[in-house]
Structure 1
């Protein structure tokens, strides 16, 4: 039973009643069980809500933190804003968790879901796509046809309603709007605009679900509808708060992308030919902007050729070069010329004033990057095969969050399963400007010593040795063979991902093992997860996944290994026996040559602090907890965590990293690890 404080108000008592064994939650769900950790967290949040103050709460897997914050937030009878890390988590909150809690508590609250404009169908751009879009292949043609059919019946316009629509589909940018190309109230489809409808519903609702990117996009741009919403809210909740700082940093800075310029040129050409043919030489203007953008990309790349993926370059490596400065100046001049041409025809059609604003804004960004950066910001250049992005960013979100916390009294709730490895949760609270906030750590109720083992091989190649990826693959192959698949291999780099994936395939083929290797990038994340579950006999619908139908799938139980990088370290929930082994290739330290990492290290060192202990080890501890968290998802789950990095066993900081993990029992040898997996497989087969 959670202890009452002498100064507790009626909200805490209402929360205790709701979570009691015969309370509202138990009456609504016959499977409900009272959990002391969940009630403790819910009461702490209720006190923060009553006092209108911030609280930072780390809640281990299985605590039930979603209900622990929703129940006091709804019972407080004020307006609530919930922000989470991804659109899929938004959907889960809005469609499942919130309605369940609302109905259980019998609270007649109105719910709303608000995403960024890129998530909603734009009726005007759909019409344009019908008339003029050039689609790359028959799959895109089919996708557009599906969207057109769905557009006739959808009420929300949220593209998430369309099952099987790949997030990477080239059709999505053609049928959604962006801040750059939205015509606003001048749009012929404005009255039926799905984005504006979603914003109106959010302003009228009692509980609104957003995501971190949308929250910070509004702080930076003031155009997502949050500016009107936030002042009227009594409780703000950030779930998956460990992603908050990086989401904020990406939006609170300034970016100039050559792809933005090329898109602008193409939109200008299309509008010019449609509405003002012959009034200006639109083809020449667009071609000049595109050439200037491509020249800037070449100057930014410098000697780099055949770039794969995205590379991050230090600003100082390019900023002083004459060809880079000249390319920026030339781009600025072409954008100013385009802006003048667009201003001259502004009265002809509503497209032109918006295009003129885009040109002026892009030109303003080129001038920003021609000047010296302010202290307290960091600049870098992202280079890919298609574009260059010049980025200026703050080092953290301290200033932005403090401004919000001081703006008006309200309760601010920050929660996640991983927020640091000390009692003050300083990994999160310091960069978020929450040094004075109350902190709380609630451990997982799971019996980790009985159900989980951790193995760190001592005699193993070091991560910087060429033999390391092959050794990881060899060990992972043995583990997966013992477990019958049921294995995730989580890598810290995309390069290791490919090397380990290839080596695993070769080993399984050579040994004749029917274990499939699923590698990130071979298909969308959702499809890979569906395939992994199907290989282990889990019930899952493959109707829209793009894989063969169940009749042509290999027999269940033949197993699979999924090899994934950053995107699979968190947000993946595989309860039960389908996942019983997680292999991590090496300790997830931040890349030391990343410009943002370098700038943060310089700041710590300038303050006389130990950057390795306070930044690198702290970051690794949090990332390691995230990866390890994939293993045990329910009270009955069992499994093995393997960290293929001998530094964790022999270096002094290894003890700190081990202590950051759930209290799994350590095994000393490879044979003990294999024996544990064989035992789990045999016991699973016997049930």
Structure 2
């Protein structure tokens, strides 16, 4: 590494040097011959006040920079450091634009050398990283980063990261490096120049044992075929007694703590499989349910040489099973088992398409970067599964062009050995346990031709989600952005996309073949379709606004779309759907004529041309699906519950039309449960008031043919949890939203001061969450606490949770998805606030329709649906607090209906017995402080 690099980091008064923002701290780290040779940093007097938020972020205040040098006093030093060097920074354009402005103002000539960006390099070289923030990358590489947002600390960490990135780069196969060099001309930094300079000094690493080259692309070598396991009959005998189970588990886990509930679950699962019985198992937190079903599954699969499917709702649980539970299982069993993860077809990379598009000209920035990410990823991945990659939204668009899809024209021999999708199918067909998700499991039912191997035995973990996933699965969804994206893929003739490419291919088609539509006529149809689609979603927004006129102050609305409504907005929307449907039909006719002619000529077409035909066919299939949705939802009178969701602040972009059946019980019963020998549903929340009646009714199981087992948590909740109910809050339905928010905000401030943070607050509606967050901020009482709020703080649920765990004094406000699946063990979470009992709003379209159906059947909608649904969600929320046997914590329920109503008892009877305290918030705060 003979080059000189200077890694720069700056702290500034804002983001825009052109508007007068100034540098308040400069830091540089010099790297020569692969080593750090010099460090320089200085505070700088910006000659203007430092904004409060910058002071909070950096810890640098006006007093600290008062006697610091002006930038002009260090500009000469900065120039000498940068001489003959690459300028390196984390998000280089930010630091460079500031420095350039300051250098020019100081009378220097500025920096015009080469630049490298560690964000860009990290995205390419860590294609599967969760985040590319400096602090997250430092944590990933175990670099000490003690003072984030201070330039000297940030510059040193960036320099250490840069050296690691250089090392990673140097170890890539030569063929990959050459391809990265070719592509890197489209980047923001001068990586291409650097790679061309350094190519000769990198080790030629395509000879590594772990890499193989196929068609000029480097891959991680395939594992050799698995050995066949010679089975001893005794080894496969299921361990009936407790002692035998303990002996097996201790074989791989010496400090195993015996859990009676876990053994009961193992026996229940094994007997259900043996006797072909459907089974419901509620297993409380801490039972160890994953091992509780995996161990008996493994024995049964081996004895009967039959694969068993395990379905989960979340990716997190799939990863936990695959990376933690299955390796543990393999370690303790006296025989070999094979478990694989199988996902839907378009989760996998199509190598032929990727190879074809790899060196396309005129790529945009996101596409170029994604190609580079994938090239590096192919040297690491064994699965080719899109979920491993961290793609930008532009990268996702490119993925849609290169994902695996059914081929109708040709069987591609060139990639058969490496094809990821075929490999996943092969592995699944020979596996004992196949892990998948609820949607893929249900694709068999819909008759869409699932890729899952046939199996009579299924375990459904996170089983309380099955009904909701099935409702979505049997329904339809139509949103503006994806509809627009779909139609835009085809493009007009001038845009030179699929339409243009198709016309180029069919230029030899006799004119009689185009009698339906010439290129000019088809172009006009496409323009009309674009216009009509925009009109359709505008009319949809108008309908929703008209229906929600009385919902003042609420931005995100849901309104029901019914056939009985005769308003003019509905009629206009239906007419637009009809026009759009006819336009799509004409476009499809024109495409079909061309595709059929091209198929007849397929022997004379090249592989890239065949790929283009595939792309047009794929587009036509998606367009046909769109037409079917329009007909089902707007033209035929189908039985689904239909509604519109939108945000009235930007109606068109976030408008979605949904249609779902009010009940899926009969479909699940006939098409799923009656076609399987044994289905085992498990979750921590399946019973209401210790009864399985509600869940069985929802999913179509019969009580007399279903085994029902409830296994309590081993945790001693009465010693670990205190449930508090303040009696100085108004009844939630007796005051306005604003008044309620003011009252709970005061309580939240009191609680936060008593618990010193480590507080999770669960809301049932985003509007209330947002108003509470704003009022807490405005009050200024919790300025020393880190406030993290879903939908306001950026990031996914897992990133928000990680940030919450990172800070000592943190408060996390969450809704919907935070009621379950969030795992924060230990002292990171010591207090949980439930703002209101999680009843679905009665005017929520699906709830309203379900309740109407129940009333028509002569039953009680509240006790048969609204109450049990709310109790299951309440149990999920309750389960967030205690995750291990040593956790302790406080749960505070603001909604007084839990003690003032008759039905409130049902909530308390559905959770483990815990002490309940009522009182004024001030008194309860003192209790919390002492108890924690």
Asked if Structure 1 and Structure 2 have the same fold, meaning a TM-score greater than 0.5 normalized by the shorter chain, the answer is: yes
| Aligned-partner Cα distance in 1 for 2:404–2:849 | 31
Give the counterpart of 2:677 among 410, 413, 426.
410
Give the counterpart of 2:254 among 22, 25, 30.
30
Please say which of residues 235-244 and 108-117 is displaced more in the overlay: 108-117
Please say which of residues 476-485 and 569-578 is displaced more in the overlay: 476-485
* Structure 1 counterpart SS, 2:832: strand
- In the other structure, the counterpart of 1:331 is 580
- In the other structure, the counterpart of 2:593 is 344
Q: Is this contact kept in 1: 2:366–2:395, CA < 8 A?
A: no
- In the other structure, the counterpart of 1:380 is 643
- In the other structure, the counterpart of 1:495 is 767
Alpha carbons of structure 1 residues 404 and 527: separation in structure 2 relative to 1, 3 Å: same
Q: Which has the higher contact order (CA 8 A, sep 6+)?
A: 1
Alpha carbons of structure 1 residues 406 and 56: separation in structure 2 relative to 1, 3 Å: closer
Q: Is this contact kept in 2: 1:12–1:46, CA < 8 A?
A: no
| Aligned-partner Cα distance in 2 for 1:147–1:661 | 47
| Aligned-partner Cα distance in 1 for 2:409–2:470 | 29
Q: Is this contact kept in 1: 2:404–2:421, CA < 8 A?
A: no
Alpha carbons of structure 1 residues 182 and 378: separation in structure 2 relative to 1, 3 Å: same
- In the other structure, the counterpart of 1:107 is 335
| Aligned-partner Cα distance in 2 for 1:399–1:148 | 47
CA RMSD of aligned residues (A): 3.0
* Structure 2 counterpart SS, 1:587: coil
| Aligned-partner Cα distance in 1 for 2:478–2:449 | 19
- In the other structure, the counterpart of 2:539 is 299
- In the other structure, the counterpart of 2:618 is 354
Q: Which string of whole-angstrom CA distances, capped at 9 and with x for unpartnered residues, describes residues 618-655 of structure 1?
A: 11110000011000011110001111111112111111
Q: Which string of whole-angstrom CA distances, capped at 9 and with x for unpartnered residues, describes residues 49-105 of structure 1?
A: 110110011111111111111111111123110000112211111121122113211
Q: Is this contact kept in 1: 2:339–2:433, CA < 8 A?
A: yes
Alpha-carbon distance, 1:426 to partner: 1.8
Give the counterpart of 1:239 among 440, 456, 461.
461
Please say which of residues 20-29 and 477-486 is displaced more in the overlay: 20-29
Q: Is this contact kept in 1: 2:554–2:767, CA < 8 A?
A: no
| Aligned-partner Cα distance in 2 for 1:388–1:221 | 29
Count of aligned pairs: 638
| Aligned-partner Cα distance in 1 for 2:923–2:362 | 60
**Residue 519 (str. 1) matches residue 747 (str. 2):** no
| Aligned-partner Cα distance in 2 for 1:123–1:283 | 32
Give the counterpart of 2:475 among 253, 256, 260.
253
Alpha carbons of structure 1 residues 400 and 178: separation in structure 2 relative to 1, 3 Å: farther
| Aligned-partner Cα distance in 2 for 1:398–1:52 | 21
Q: Is this contact kept in 1: 2:347–2:403, CA < 8 A?
A: no
Q: Is this contact kept in 2: 1:458–1:649, CA < 8 A?
A: no
Alpha-carbon distance, 1:490 to partner: 0.8
Q: Is this contact kept in 1: 2:344–2:451, CA < 8 A?
A: no
Q: Is this contact kept in 2: 1:11–1:72, CA < 8 A?
A: no
For normalisation by structure 2, the TM-score amounts to 0.64
Q: Which string of whole-angstrom CA distances, capped at 9 and with x for unpartnered residues, describes residues 445-486 of structure 1?
A: 111111101112223123343311232222122212211211
- In the other structure, the counterpart of 1:214 is 440
| 1:455-534 to 2 correspondences below 5 Å | 455-464=724-733, 465=736, 466-507=738-779, 510-511=780-781, 513-521=783-791, 522=793, 523-534=795-806
Alpha carbons of structure 1 residues 596 and 351: separation in structure 2 relative to 1, 3 Å: same
**Residue 82 (str. 1) matches residue 331 (str. 2):** no
* Structure 1 counterpart SS, 2:309: strand
Q: Is this contact kept in 1: 2:690–2:910, CA < 8 A?
A: no
- In the other structure, the counterpart of 1:147 is 374
Alpha-carbon distance, 1:144 to partner: 5.3
Which ranges of structure 1 fall in alignment gaps of 5 or more residues? 1-9, 536-556, 682-687
| Aligned-partner Cα distance in 2 for 1:187–1:387 | 40
Alpha carbons of structure 1 residues 650 and 109: separation in structure 2 relative to 1, 3 Å: same
Give the counterpart of 1:204 among 430, 440, 445.
430
Alpha carbons of structure 1 residues 217 and 315: separation in structure 2 relative to 1, 3 Å: farther
| Aligned-partner Cα distance in 1 for 2:247–2:372 | 49
| Aligned-partner Cα distance in 2 for 1:600–1:178 | 41
Give the counterpart of 1:434 among 682, 696, 701.
701
| Aligned-partner Cα distance in 2 for 1:88–1:271 | 37
* Structure 2 counterpart SS, 1:430: helix
| Aligned-partner Cα distance in 2 for 1:368–1:114 | 31
Q: Is this contact kept in 2: 1:345–1:352, CA < 8 A?
A: no
Please say which of residues 350-359 and 123-132 is displaced more in the overlay: 123-132
Q: Is this contact kept in 1: 2:345–2:404, CA < 8 A?
A: no
Q: Is this contact kept in 1: 2:760–2:833, CA < 8 A?
A: yes
Q: Is this contact kept in 2: 1:459–1:646, CA < 8 A?
A: no
**Residue 575 (str. 1) matches residue 812 (str. 2):** no
Alpha carbons of structure 1 residues 98 and 185: separation in structure 2 relative to 1, 3 Å: farther
For normalisation by structure 1, the TM-score amounts to 0.86
Which ranges of structure 2 fall in alignment gaps of 5 or more residues? 1-233, 492-496, 508-517, 546-552, 599-612
| Aligned-partner Cα distance in 2 for 1:353–1:400 | 31
Please say which of residues 619-628 and 600-609 is displaced more in the overlay: 600-609
| Aligned-partner Cα distance in 1 for 2:566–2:451 | 37
- In the other structure, the counterpart of 2:929 is 678
Alpha-carbon distance, 1:573 to partner: 0.9
Alpha carbons of structure 1 residues 529 and 390: separation in structure 2 relative to 1, 3 Å: closer
- In the other structure, the counterpart of 1:452 is 721
**Residue 365 (str. 1) matches residue 593 (str. 2):** no
| Aligned-partner Cα distance in 2 for 1:199–1:251 | 23
Q: Is this contact kept in 2: 1:123–1:175, CA < 8 A?
A: no
